[in-house]
Structure 1
Amino acid sequence: MEEVFRACRNCKRSVASGHLALHEAHCQLFLVLCQECKGPVLQTEMEEHCQGGHKQVGCAMCQQSLPRHLLEIHETKECPERPVKCQFCDLAVRLNKLEIHEHHCGRQTELCADCGQHIMLRVLAQHRDVCWAEQTLLWRGKKIPAPESNICCHYCKHMIPGNKYFHHLPHLPRSCCGHPGSIMDEEGQLLQPQDQSCWATLPDVCLRRVFWWLGDRDRSRAALVCRKWNQIMYSADLWRYRTITFSGRPSRVHASEFESALWYVKKFGRYLEHLEIKFLNPYNAVLTKKFQVTMRGLLSCLGKSNNRLRSLSIQHLELDRLVWRNSIRSSFMKSLSFFLKKMGKHLDYLNLKGARLTVEQGCHVLNSLSYLRSESVVSELNIEDYFSHHLAVYSSPQFNKTMATFRSLASLTLNYNCISDELLENLCENNASTLWTMNIKCHVHDPHGQVIWGMSWAKLARHATNLKVNFFFERVMKYERLARILLQEIPVRSISLRSCYFSDPDWSMRPTLTELLPTFRHTLQKLTFEFNNNHESLDEELHLLILSCRKLFYFKIWAFLDVKFVERILKSQEEGQCALRTLKVRAPPGGAVPRGSGKGGGAPGRQACSHHASA
């Protein structure tokens, strides 16, 4: 019987009836609704929330005025003045000047190593494809357009038109020393079987290993050697892993990427077991449409020919960007959902990190995995940044119902705005025997003020005895917020705190180091810090924290530190006072502190250093 959900009269969230009274009591005491974004906020933080999240600020690059909480997204993904890398010279260029820059930069020439001609950069990749005619090797018998110049046959040394080169090879006389099935010495003389090198009789298992280390271009060249080597080209072992990368920039150099990806799946897709797809920073709606059409054909072909796919990764699509028109986004999600319905019974690993969907869209895609069996067999699921910023996913009954279909999760990666008592209860009931790892990211722009009871974490840890939880905080640095998230009942294995230029003159890291983190001294194994502590010295607190965490074997920090801090840590490690095996220390630029300032133990300056300590 499904549990009944009711809306809280204060914050309007959907809450299980069994928790409603307790939730409303807490809600009325501590939470109020923000009049701007209609989101629940702690009463003590309402003023800070309004000033920090909704205050209008100007972009330093394009001077556009927008709310502060959208500034980071605008500067990294939307600003027309943001710096981007030229595909030809790798220099940073303003986005609105990139097309002009690449037009002139692409007209520079580079020497082709294959034919010795000087080719313009913007057509160099296409030229190389024509120059070596890789794909015509496997499409033998079809006509190809003639290149600008003839190609010298590697066997008979005659100049052959490019569109006849691969048709020319099979018609060489068997007696010709250049026949693809024959073996020649360094001087071009035909070798008799007794005189041939070991390469001619190399076992298939060794030959497959050689081909495994070659890229696509080199594999095509090696397949020209003889019939046996050509047959190795079709070995299933060579095509089980594939990463397909699509450029998000309009460029003739990358024009064939979409066609090549589809050609690969048609030719070798039946062998595929691990597929990773990358779509790098799409520039406009034309490219997203082209990507959507290509993916429709690719997923359709793969769904028909493949029955062994175990791993699928499609990261950082950022479907909430303006370059994804509603129709394009809907068509892509329809193709992906249909594919997951067919392949869900095979998939063991799914990574959709950075998809940026609404709750309804995201749950619809995840529900496709359990379409045939009413439950999913996926053991590793990565949905970090899967939902758009500022969504309180934890309050969605639809999300909790979707997560209840996963029955064999071993590793789960998600954002803290997805965590709720209901989710922990589902994991405890359905995945307690298999769950080993939870990776939780908490970003300052994601809602993270929900109340999670320690008893929910304690119950999950009691049933999932092997569970280890890793936290990654970005710009969430204040002690009050961290203490509300890092409950002592959580079996924390790793904590990463990154300030990302967070600055507050009243903020102090000391309470976190002395009061909060020692709570996990019995389970903590990895610590990563990145913060600006130029207003306080924390050397002593950090040293005591390392000594108190008896299982801590990895420590990385980027902060203002005294050089003697490293010496003390190494001495403690040498004396067996700590279990540290890896120590990475780096100081921010401009980290010098005047003598006698009281910061850094009176040292004349804090220097940047990096060190690895071996146990």
Structure 2
Amino acid sequence: MDVETGEGLDDQMNYRMVDQTGTRLDEKMDDQIDDRTDDRMDDHMWSNLPDTALIEIYLCLQDPERVNMSMTCKNWNRIFSSPCLWRTWYIELGGYNYISTGERICKFADGHGDHPKYLFLSYDHRRHHTCKIIQRTIDDFLDKIQNAKLVNFEFQNASFMFETLKENVVDSFARFFRGQTNMVDFNMERSHLSLTSGCRILHAIGSASGNTIRNLDIEDFFDSMLAMFQVKQFINALSKFTNLSFLALNYNCLSDDILECLTQNLAGKLKHISCRVCRTDPHFHRISSYSWKSLKSVCPKLSIDFWFESIGLSADIIRVLVPEAPLHEIYIDTRFDHNADWLQLSETIDHIAKHHKQITVLSVKLHNNHDSIDDSLVSMVTQCPALRVLFVRSVLKVSTIDEICTLQTEHKIDLQTFHVTTCGLTEMEYAELIYVSAKHLSVMQERGLNFEIRAVLGRQHL
């Protein structure tokens, strides 16, 4: 094995690259070494351990412990610089000690900037008066790792950075991404970028790694309220990704034109779409049945998840759940929709039962104080034979829960997980629910099923 290049080692080992100095070594590490060390073993034997053994020890340590280990002798310090130990970096930009933190990050990048393949960034800084210093840190850091061949890139809390540094930091990231040609996974969800900035970054990534990226997560990548499906720059940028297997985005980033683009570029490749439908995003357009059928015809393994947030009106949900869309998982959280008195949520459940019998997961958290879904829910579980996971939090009758459990014990449905929380029960209804739960518990346990039955008493509905 070549220690200097790390050939032959698993490059996907995940270890944190955080503060490289000033952190005390956990005393437990000394205790473990003392316990395993024979008193008769001298220092010479430790300093001449094989390189492979030393690397395995390093891989078991956190970074502060690695630093201390590297200061033991010249040989151990030599192994400390092996690229295979620094394939995965976890970097926190900003923070309380933003100046010293930035200096340490950039100094570390001086010696190891070519090594990372898996880069995970986070940002914790909201002080506007230090923007120029943070900007210089980012520019310097990205420049020092420009020659790295990233496979995975993930940025958490990116929205805080772009909110603080405005458009200045976009240039740095766009320039950096244009040099990355081997990425497979890219995640900048919840960045909340402007239209121009988001399209610039997405264009840079697509131009460089569009033919290698398989997993693209751009959920909440753009600011809310932007109808991105009408923006030509966005469609052009998305068309550069020709190898996607997984795509996460918002409904305001989908349209007939975009599905046509996916159909042309991702035939036989695209397997999963996760789509968030948020109340604050434009979601009143309807994607045609033809577009979904065309995409499904060229991507036969395609499955779709829809996540509805703060949307409860039946008409709004059904407009999105086109019968021809190959839905497998549906998540609905109505929260406190202002139209709560006339949501007609039973129509939503009936629509799912009629047009999406292939669903495997249904999770509903409903504010249905004035809308009974009991009959629709029972009908749905019997009409969807592929349903395996059911989460329900809503106003439900105890008899409905009993009926669903009975269908399960009689093998008329095949749920593997059933979590239900019924709201607004009286004390008498709660006592009845305890009886129902006890009646079915033993059978569920014998079959190894994941069943939970809970209740909220009184007028607390959610």
Asked if Structure 1 and Structure 2 have the same fold, meaning a TM-score greater than 0.5 normalized by the shorter chain, the answer is yes
Pairing 1:350–2:186 present:
yes
Query: Which one-letter code corresponds to 2:154 in the other structure?
Result: S
Q: Which segment drifts farther, 499-508 or 447-456?
A: 499-508
TM-score (norm 1): 0.61
Q: Distance in 2 between matches of 1:543 and 1:452?
A: 29
3-state DSSP class of the match of 2:102?
Answer: helix
Among 279, 284, 289, the residue aligned to 2:127: 284
Q: CA 1:501/1:288 → structure 2, altered by over 3 Å: closer, same or farther?
A: farther
Instruction: Specify whether residues 571 and 256 from structure 1 end up closer, same or farther in structure 2 by C-alpha distance, changes over 3 A only.
Output: farther
Q: For 2:255 and 2:220, how far apart are their aligned partners in 1?
A: 17
- Whether the 8 Å CA contact 2:152–2:184 is kept in 1: the answer is yes
More divergent stretch after superposition (232-241 vs 435-444): 232-241
Work out the CA distance in 2 between the residues paired with 1:541 and 1:606: 20
Aligned to 2:266: 431
Aligned to 1:549: 384
Rate the CA distance shift 1:606–1:359 in 2: closer, same or farther, 3 A. Answer: farther
Distance 2:198 2:36 in 1: 60
What is the alpha-carbon distance in structure 2 between the residues aligned to residue 406 and residue 186 of structure 1? 52
Whether contact under 8 Å (2:167, 2:197) holds in the other structure is no
- Are 1:414 and 2:246 matched, yes or no? no
Count of residues paired in the alignment: 420
Say yes or no: does 1:298 pair with 2:133: no
Match of residue 312 from structure 1: 153
Greater Rg by CA: 1
Q: Which moved more, 1:293-302 or 1:217-226?
A: 217-226
Q: Which has the higher helix share?
A: 2
What TM-score, normalized by structure 2, do the two folds share? 0.79
Identical columns (%): 23
Kindly indicate whether the alpha-carbon contact (under 8 Å) linking 1:595 and 1:605 is maintained by their aligned counterparts in 2.
no
Query: For 1:318, what is the secondary structure of its paired residue?
Result: helix
Is the contact made by 2:184 and 2:214 (CA closer than 8 Å) also made in structure 1?
yes
Choose between structure 1 and 2 for higher RCO, CA contacts under 8 A separated by at least 6 residues. 2
Q: Look up the SS of the partner of 1:577 in the other structure.
A: coil
Contact 1:341 1:372 in 2 (8 A): yes
1:560 matched to 2:395: yes
Q: What per-residue deviation string (whole Å, max 9, x for no partner) do you get for residues 507-557 of structure 1? A: 232111123344111x21111111223334434432332232211222222
Give, in whole Å, the separation in 1 of the partners of 2:223 and 2:240: 22
Q: Verify the 8 A CA contact 2:154 2:187 in the aligned structure 1.
A: yes
The farther-off stretch of 570-579 and 496-505 is 570-579
Structure 2: distance between partners of 1:186 and 1:368: 51
- CA offsets per residue over residues 157-208 of structure 1, 9 Å max, x none? xxxxxxxxxxxxxxxxxxxxxxxxxx999999663589x7xx7776544543
Matched with 1:230 is: 77
Residues 1:482 and 2:321 aligned together? no
Runs of 5+ unmatched residues, structure 1: 1-124, 135-153, 155-182
1:260 aligns with 2:260: no
CA shift, 1:276, in A, is 1.1
Relative to structure 1, the CA distance from residue 571 to residue 292 in structure 2 (aligned partners, 3 Å threshold; closer, same or farther) is farther
1:5-404 to structure 2, matched below 5 A, reads 129-130=21-22, 132=24, 191-192=41-42, 204-246=51-93, 251-252=96-97, 256-280=100-124, 282-304=125-147, 306=148, 308-318=149-159, 323-324=163-164, 328-343=165-180, 345-371=181-207, 376-404=211-239
Structure 1 residue 370 displacement after superposition: 4.2
Q: CA deviation at 1:432?
A: 1.4
8 Å Cα contact 1:385/1:414 also seen in 2 = yes
Secondary structure in 1 matching 2:167:
helix
Tell me the distance in 1 between the aligned counterparts of 2:99 and 2:38: 39
Aligned with 2:367: secondary structure? coil
Residue aligning to 1:592? 425
Q: Distance in 1 between matches of 2:51 and 2:65?
A: 18
In structure 2, what is the Cα distance between the partners aligned to 1:370 and 1:416? Answer: 20
Residues 508 and 220 of structure 1: CA distance in aligned 2, closer, same or farther (over 3 Å): same
Q: Which runs of 5+ in 2 are unaligned?
A: 1-17, 450-462
Equivalent runs, 1:487-506 vs 2, <5 Å? 487-503=322-338, 504-506=340-342
C-alpha RMSD of matched pairs (Å): 3.6
> Which of 441, 444, 468 is 2:279 aligned to?
444
Q: What residue identity is the alignment partner of 1:298?
A: F
Confirm or deny: 8 A CA contact 1:593 1:604 kept in the other structure.
no
Residues of 1 paired with 2:326 and 2:420: CA distance? 26
Q: CA separation of 1:525/1:205 partners in 2, compared to 1, >3 Å: closer, same or farther? A: farther
SS at match of 1:256: helix
